[in-house]
Amino acid sequence: MQRFDLGRFDKVERGFLSEKELAAIEAKEISIDRISWVRDLFVFSCYTGLAYIDVMRLTPMSVAIGIDGEFWIITSRKKTSTAVKVPLLPKALEIIDKYKGDVRALAKGTLFPFISNQKLNACLKEVGDLCSIKKNMTFHLARHTFATTITLTNGVPIESVSKMLGHSKITTTQVYAKVVESKLSKDMTNLKNVLGF
């Protein structure tokens, strides 16, 4: 059997948080308001897949009742002008509720108070340190976490994930989201059951 030299490939590995790492970030008691606020924005993106600029542009009008009678984020991506519709998971709704009366957000007419991408990413490094996470903590990691840990790993079809991320081509999503081994294991266990093994 021929073996392939895997060292020759320059494929970039997209980072993402595991379920355990995300849970650690969510559960961490943070007494510094600035760090807590950045953590909340990051977690919101982990549950919506929205990029930094799109989170900062959200207004109360971006939250609407969707086709199913539940709350959705309805917006468009700044980068591509592609329409994005994301059903809101309970964790994302909790974070929206937390900032409803924030005077900084009210003054700008946005859903969340504004923070620059540079400051946000600097604070995220602190969040990572506080939670003993060794990964490169940037806001974009949240988008990868949504694609991989929140959706694909839990059986959401890649077509749906692609739509929520605002990708115009599914190939973009395929590169973006690595299917983790636990999902492959689950799928094969289900297949064994179907086949009667």
pLDDT digits (tens, 9 = 90+) for 100-135: 999 999 999 999 999 999 999 999 999 999 999 999
Residues whose CB falls within 8 Å of the CB of residue 55, separated by 6 or more in sequence, listed in order: 41, 44, 45, 48, 111, 112
As given in the structure block, the two tokens for residue 114 are 């504004």
* Per-residue model confidence (pLDDT) at position 173: 84
* Per-residue model confidence (pLDDT) at position 11: 46
User: Does any domain span residue 7?
Assistant: no
Number of domains in the chain: 1
Helix axes 33-48, 90-98, angle to 10 degrees: 150
In the predicted structure, residue 43 carries a pLDDT above the cut 50 = yes
User: Does any domain span residue 3?
Assistant: no
User: Does any domain span residue 2?
Assistant: no
User: Does any domain span residue 1?
Assistant: no
User: Does any domain span residue 149?
Assistant: yes
Residues whose CB falls within 8 Å of the CB of residue 166, separated by 6 or more in sequence, listed in order: 76, 77, 80, 82, 83, 84
Q: Please tell me the distance from the alpha carbon of residue 42 to that of residue 116, in angstroms, as a whole number.
A: 13
What CATH number is associated with residue 89?
1.10.443.10
Average pLDDT over residues 31-48: 97
Of 38 and 189, more confident:
38
pLDDT digits (tens, 9 = 90+) for 163-191: 999 988 888 888 765 666 677 788 888 89
Q: What is the model's pTM? A: 0.85
User: Does any domain span residue 74?
Assistant: yes
User: What residue ranges in 41-176 does DSSP mark as E strands?
Assistant: 63-65, 71-76, 83-87
> What residue numbers bound the domain in which 93 lies?
13-195
User: Does any domain span residue 8?
Assistant: no
> Which H or E element spans position 172?
helix 170-176
pLDDT digits (tens, 9 = 90+) for 50-86: 999 999 999 999 999 999 999 999 999 998 888 999 9
User: Does any domain span residue 5?
Assistant: no
